[in-house]
Structure 1
Amino acid sequence: MTPPPFHDLLPTVLVVDDEVRSQDALRRTLDEDFTVFTASSADEARGLLQRQPVSVILCDQRMPGMTGVNFLKEVREQWPDIVRIVLSGYTDSEDIIAGINEAGIYQYILKPWSPDHLLDAVRNAVEAQVLQQQTSRLDLELRTSTRVLRQRTASQMAQAKSHFGFERIVRAPGSPLDLLCRMAERAARYDIPVLVLGESGTGKELLARAIHYASPRLTGPFVVENCAAIPDTLLESELFGHKRGAFTGAFEDHAGLFQRADGGTVFLDEIGETSPAFQVKLLRVLQEGEVRPVGAARPVPVDVRIIAATHRNLEQRVREGLFREDLYYRLSAVALTVPPLRERVGDIPPIARQIAQDVAGELGHPGAALTDETLACLLAYPWPGNIRELRNEIGRALALHEGTELPPEAFSPRVLQGRAAGGGGDLTAALPASGSLTERLDVIEAMVLRETLLRHRWNKTKAAAELGLSRVGLRAKMQRFGLDKP
C-alpha cells in the first residue's frame, strides 16, 4: 500500500495488520499526532521499512504466514532503534513472554483497545525512542569527549611539564646548576623523599616542582606548604586535616593537604622551622603512609611523595636537639643543595633578562632592555636575597623607570654600590695585571667615581659632596676618566 506523504515534523508509526478495517481504525486514532503508514503483511512492512524511517511499529500478533512477535524479532535485528508494540486479541502468556524476551517488545496491547490508551502507549513509545536516541548520542559524545578531554589533558600536562621542567630553570652554559639538575632528574624517577637545601630565594621550590613534573607522579597534584608561615598548632590541621568539633572553630570536617595531594607531591618549605612534636607526626606519615586528622579516631591512608626544603643547616640542628635525627635521615634520602647566586654569577645575565621579560608581562609594561653597564653592576652585587631579591629589584626598576633600557641608576642604592658591596675581591680582580702604581691607582679612582655617581643617579652635587670635591673638580675627573652619563 502506498504510504501517505511523509511529514517531517510528526513522528512516524507503521501499522502492520492484515485486516483493513483494523488499519483504518488505527489510522483514524493516530493520524492527528503521527504520520501513519500501513502494511497488510510482513513482506509489505519490510519493503516500507527499507524506504522510510519509522519511530514505532504497531503489529498484530496473528497474521497469515508469520506471527507479530517473529516479525518484530527480525525488526529488532535490522532496525533496533524502532520501538515495537504488539496488538493481540489473545492473552496467551507464552506469547507475551516470548515477545518481551525475544523481540524486545516495548508494550503488549490487548484487543479491543481503547483509543486513549492506545494514544498514550504510542506517545510514550515515541518519547522512549527520543530518549534512547538522545542517550545514544550522549554516549557517543561522552566517548568522543573522553578522547578529546584525554588529549587536552595530555596536551596541558605536556605544557606544564615543559613550563616547569628542568629545562626551564634558567642558567648559563656550564652553570653549576647543570650537575644539580642532572642529579635531581635522576632522583625524580624514583619515589623517594628529597631534601632541597639552600639560602632563601635561591629557587628551591622551582627545583622541587621540576622534580615533580619529571616523576611518575606528574599527573597528580603538586601542593606547597610553607611550614614557617603558620603556627605549629595550625600546621597539623592544615596538613593532616581535622574532624568537626576537634577544636574551637572546627565547624566541619577538613581534608588536609596530604589528602588533597593524594597521588602527587607535597612540598614542605622551611621544614627546619617545625617543632619536635610536629616532626614526630610527620615521621609517622613517612613510615606508615597515613595521616591522622585532628580529632579523628582512625588514620587515613595517603599516597604522597614528600619534597622538603630549608635554608637551615639541619645537621647542626640535629646536633642541637632541634631536629629529629630519624626524620632528617628519612627526608634526606636524596639531598640537593642549590648554590647561592653569588656562587654562580654567570647565571645572573640570563636570569635577569628572563625576569625582566616575565615581570614586564605581569605589570603590563612594554619592557626594557638591560644595558651592558647594568649587567656589570648586577654582576658586582652579592645578592644576599638571591633570585627573589633580583626579581624585586628588576620589578622596582621597571615600575619606576621610563624608557626602552634599564640603566644602572634605575636600581636601588644598595645594588648601585656594586663592587663595594661585593668586597675588595672585585676591586683586585679589576686591576690591571701590570703597570705603574699611578696607573693602578687611576683604575681604582675611576671605579670609585663611577660607583658614587651611579649610587647618586649621576647627581654631581651629591657625588661631589660625598667625595669631598667641588663640582668643577668632579667634572674634570669625569672628563679625565671618560665618565659620561649613559
Structure 2
Amino acid sequence: MDTVNTSLTTVLVVDDEVRSQDAMRRTLDEDFIVLTAGSAAEARSLLEQQEVSVILCDQRMPGLSGVVFLKEVRERWPDTVRIVISGYTDTEDLISGINEAGIYQYILKPWIPDHLLATVRNAVEAQGLQRDTNRLHLELRSSTPVLRERAASNLAQARQAFDFERIERAPGSPLDAVCELAARVARYDLSTLVLGESGSGKELLARAMHYASPRANKAFVSENCAAMPDTLLESELFGHKRGAFTGAFEDHAGLFQRANGGTVFLDEIGETSPAFQVRLLRVLQEREVRPVGAARAVPVDVRVIAATHRDLEQRVREGLFREDLFYRIAGVTLTVPPLRERVGDIAPIARRLLQEVGQELGLSPARAAALRLSDEALGVLMAYPWPGNVRELRNEIARALALSEGEGLAAQSFSPRVLQGQTGAGLAALAPGLGQAASGTLVERLDAIEAVILRETLLRQRWNKTRAAKELGLSRVGLRAKMARFGLEG
C-alpha cells in the first residue's frame, strides 16, 4: 500500500493490472496524491484508513466487478466521487449498474490521458461544489441573510479568480485582442465558438466569459464531447427518466438542466457524430431538452460556448459536421493562438506555473513565491515550440522543479525534448546579445550570432564540453577559448 501525504487531494486507482495502475499514476500524480490497489479488498482497506476524494475503478477485476464494488463505496463512503473505467464496447451491462452505484462518469478504454486528468479535476471540483451547496443549505435553514452574504462573497471571489486580467500574458500579447473581444461578447447571450489547439486555454477563456456575463451567479458546467459514446453523452447532457433503459433506477438531470440560467461549455464539439449533432441542434433551436425516455421536453435557458481544435468549416465541407449546427454555435468565433505564436507570454506563464506547481508539490506559499527561473531557463523555454501548449509547459515546469535544488530553476533540469527542440525563431531568447547582430561592424554582428549558437549548443548538450565541441567541430581547447571570449562559464 502507498504512504499518504494528506496535504493534497487523494485519488485511489483500483485495477488488477499493474501497468494500468502505473499509467494512471503517471497521468495524475502531478496534480494529486495517487494511491493504488489491485483488488476491491485492498481498496476497501485503504478507504477505511483515510479520506479519498475520487476513486477510479476498473470494471473487470477478479472477484467483485467495478460497479458492484462502487455500490458498496456509495453506501459506506457517499462523499467519494466514483468513476468506472471499462473496455466494453457494448455499455448496456455497465449502464445497468451506473445509477445504483452513483457513478459520476464512465470512461471507455483506451482512455486518453488528457481526458482522464480533466475528468478527475472536474470530479474534485464537483465534490467541492456539492460540499459548498450542502453548507449553504444548512445556512439557509438558519439564516437567509447569511446565505445571501455567502453567495455574494462566492460570486465576487469567482469573478476575481476568472477575470480576463487573470489570464496570464505579457503586455502587448496576441491574447489581448482575443480577451477584449471575449469581454465585449460576454455581456450578450450569443453562442460562441472557441477555436484553438489542445492545451491552449480554451476552457479558461470560456470561464472568464461566464463570470463576466449576467449569468455569473448561475452554474458553469463543462463536458468533453470526445470522451463518451453517443448514448452516454446524450444522457449526460440531456438527462434520462427512470426506466428509460436497463439500470435507470432514478431520474437523472442532465447538464443542460443543472446549468439552467448559466453556461454550458461543450469542449471538442468537432468530434461528435452526425446523429448527436441533430439532437444538439434541436436543443439549441427549441431551447428545451427531452431527457431519454421522457414524454415531454423540459425548457432550459442556457448559453452555449463550444470549443474545438478542429477546422469546423473544413469538416462542414467534408460532410462531417452539420452546416446548420455550425452556424448555430458560431454566433461569434474566438481563436486562441498557440503558445508558439505568443512567445512573449511564455515567461509570465512559466513564472505563474512555477509558483502554482510549487504549492501543489507541498511547498509553502512563501517558499513557492520565492522560486525563480534563471535567464538561461527562460531562454530555453522561449525557444521551444510547445506543441502541447500551456499543458505541456506545466508538465515541464513540474518535472524541472522536482529535479532542481534550491530556489532557482536551471535550464539543465528540462527534458532533452525541450533542450533539443529549440527553433531558429526562438534563438533570440537565449542571449540578449543577439540584438547586437542588427547593428555594428560585420565582425561584431558575427560575434553576436556565434555567441548565441555556442550557448544554445552548450545548453542542449547540458554543458558537456566534449559533446559540444564535437558537434561544433572544435577541439576542447578551442571551445574553452570561445567560452572565455564570450563569457560563457559552465
User: Given the superposition, is the C-alpha separation of residues 393 and 143 from structure 1 closer, same or farther in structure 2, using an over 3 Å criterion?
Assistant: closer
- Cα pair 2:437 2:449 within 8 Å, conserved: no
In the TM superposition, residue 440 of structure 1 has moved relative to its aligned partner by 4.3
Determine the structure 2 residue equivalent to 1:302: 300
1-structure distance, mates of 2:308, 2:187: 22
Alignment partner for residue 278 of structure 1, among 276, 279, 293? 276
1:376 paired to 2:382: no
In the TM superposition, residue 423 of structure 1 has moved relative to its aligned partner by 7.3
Code of the aligned partner of 1:300:
V
- Cα pair 1:341 1:347 within 8 Å, conserved: yes
Alignment partner for residue 423 of structure 2, among 416, 420, 424? 420
Determine the structure 1 residue equivalent to 2:154: 156
Code of the aligned partner of 2:344:
G
1:402 paired to 2:402: no
- 1:10-89 aligned at under 5 Å gives the runs none
More displaced stretch, 261-270 vs 167-176: 167-176
- Cα pair 2:193 2:332 within 8 Å, conserved: yes
Instruction: Give the match's secondary structure for 2:467.
Output: helix
Deviations 1:285-328 (A, max 9, x none): 11111112222222222221110011111111111111111111
Alignment partner for residue 194 of structure 1, among 181, 192, 195? 192
Code of the aligned partner of 2:215:
R
- 1:222-371 aligned at under 5 Å gives the runs 222-365=220-363, 366-367=367-368, 368-371=371-374
In the TM superposition, residue 263 of structure 1 has moved relative to its aligned partner by 1.6
In the TM superposition, residue 160 of structure 1 has moved relative to its aligned partner by 0.7
In the TM superposition, residue 476 of structure 1 has moved relative to its aligned partner by 2.8
User: Given the superposition, is the C-alpha separation of residues 235 and 469 from structure 1 closer, same or farther in structure 2, using an over 3 Å criterion?
Assistant: same
Alignment partner for residue 461 of structure 1, among 454, 459, 466? 466
2-structure distance, mates of 1:389, 1:213: 26
Instruction: Give the match's secondary structure for 1:432.
Output: helix
Determine the structure 1 residue equivalent to 2:485: 480
2-structure distance, mates of 1:142, 1:233: 37
Instruction: Give the match's secondary structure for 2:152.
Output: helix
User: Given the superposition, is the C-alpha separation of residues 283 and 381 from structure 1 closer, same or farther in structure 2, using an over 3 Å criterion?
Assistant: same
Instruction: Give the match's secondary structure for 2:437.
Output: coil
Deviations 1:342-365 (A, max 9, x none): 222222222211111111111123
2-structure distance, mates of 1:142, 1:344: 47
Code of the aligned partner of 2:403:
L
Instruction: Give the match's secondary structure for 1:312.
Output: coil
TM-score (norm 2): 0.65
- Cα pair 2:383 2:427 within 8 Å, conserved: no
- 1:96-111 aligned at under 5 Å gives the runs none
- Cα pair 1:381 1:422 within 8 Å, conserved: no
In the TM superposition, residue 463 of structure 1 has moved relative to its aligned partner by 2.8
1-structure distance, mates of 2:198, 2:254: 26
In the TM superposition, residue 411 of structure 1 has moved relative to its aligned partner by 1.4
User: Given the superposition, is the C-alpha separation of residues 441 and 232 from structure 1 closer, same or farther in structure 2, using an over 3 Å criterion?
Assistant: farther
In the TM superposition, residue 261 of structure 1 has moved relative to its aligned partner by 1.3
**CA root-mean-square deviation:** 2.5
Code of the aligned partner of 1:459:
N
- Cα pair 1:377 1:418 within 8 Å, conserved: no
Determine the structure 1 residue equivalent to 2:455: 450
1:433 paired to 2:427: no
In the TM superposition, residue 174 of structure 1 has moved relative to its aligned partner by 2.2
2-structure distance, mates of 1:344, 1:370: 19
- Cα pair 1:291 1:300 within 8 Å, conserved: yes
1-structure distance, mates of 2:331, 2:443: 57
- Cα pair 2:412 2:462 within 8 Å, conserved: yes
Instruction: Give the match's secondary structure for 2:381.
Output: helix
Give unmatched runs, 5+ long, in structure 1: 1-140
Code of the aligned partner of 2:437:
P
Code of the aligned partner of 1:383:
W
TM-score (norm 1): 0.66
In the TM superposition, residue 239 of structure 1 has moved relative to its aligned partner by 1.0
Code of the aligned partner of 1:151:
E
User: Given the superposition, is the C-alpha separation of residues 417 and 216 from structure 1 closer, same or farther in structure 2, using an over 3 Å criterion?
Assistant: same
User: Given the superposition, is the C-alpha separation of residues 250 and 466 from structure 1 closer, same or farther in structure 2, using an over 3 Å criterion?
Assistant: farther
More displaced stretch, 439-448 vs 371-380: 439-448
Determine the structure 2 residue equivalent to 1:180: 178
2-structure distance, mates of 1:335, 1:420: 30
2-structure distance, mates of 1:421, 1:440: 17
Determine the structure 2 residue equivalent to 1:25: none
2-structure distance, mates of 1:232, 1:375: 44
What is the percentage of aligned positions where both structures have the same residue? 74
1:471 paired to 2:469: no
Determine the structure 2 residue equivalent to 1:81: none
- Cα pair 1:414 1:421 within 8 Å, conserved: no
Give the structure with higher Rg (CA): 1
- Cα pair 1:382 1:421 within 8 Å, conserved: no
- Cα pair 2:353 2:394 within 8 Å, conserved: yes
In the TM superposition, residue 183 of structure 1 has moved relative to its aligned partner by 1.4
Deviations 1:225-261 (A, max 9, x none): 0111222332111111223343344343322111121
Alignment coverage as a number of residue pairs: 345
- Cα pair 2:438 2:445 within 8 Å, conserved: no
2-structure distance, mates of 1:142, 1:260: 20
1-structure distance, mates of 2:380, 2:140: 59
1-structure distance, mates of 2:169, 2:142: 43
- Cα pair 1:419 1:426 within 8 Å, conserved: no
More displaced stretch, 297-306 vs 277-286: 297-306
User: Given the superposition, is the C-alpha separation of residues 400 and 433 from structure 1 closer, same or farther in structure 2, using an over 3 Å criterion?
Assistant: same
- Cα pair 1:378 1:418 within 8 Å, conserved: no
User: Given the superposition, is the C-alpha separation of residues 449 and 161 from structure 1 closer, same or farther in structure 2, using an over 3 Å criterion?
Assistant: same
User: Given the superposition, is the C-alpha separation of residues 281 and 319 from structure 1 closer, same or farther in structure 2, using an over 3 Å criterion?
Assistant: same
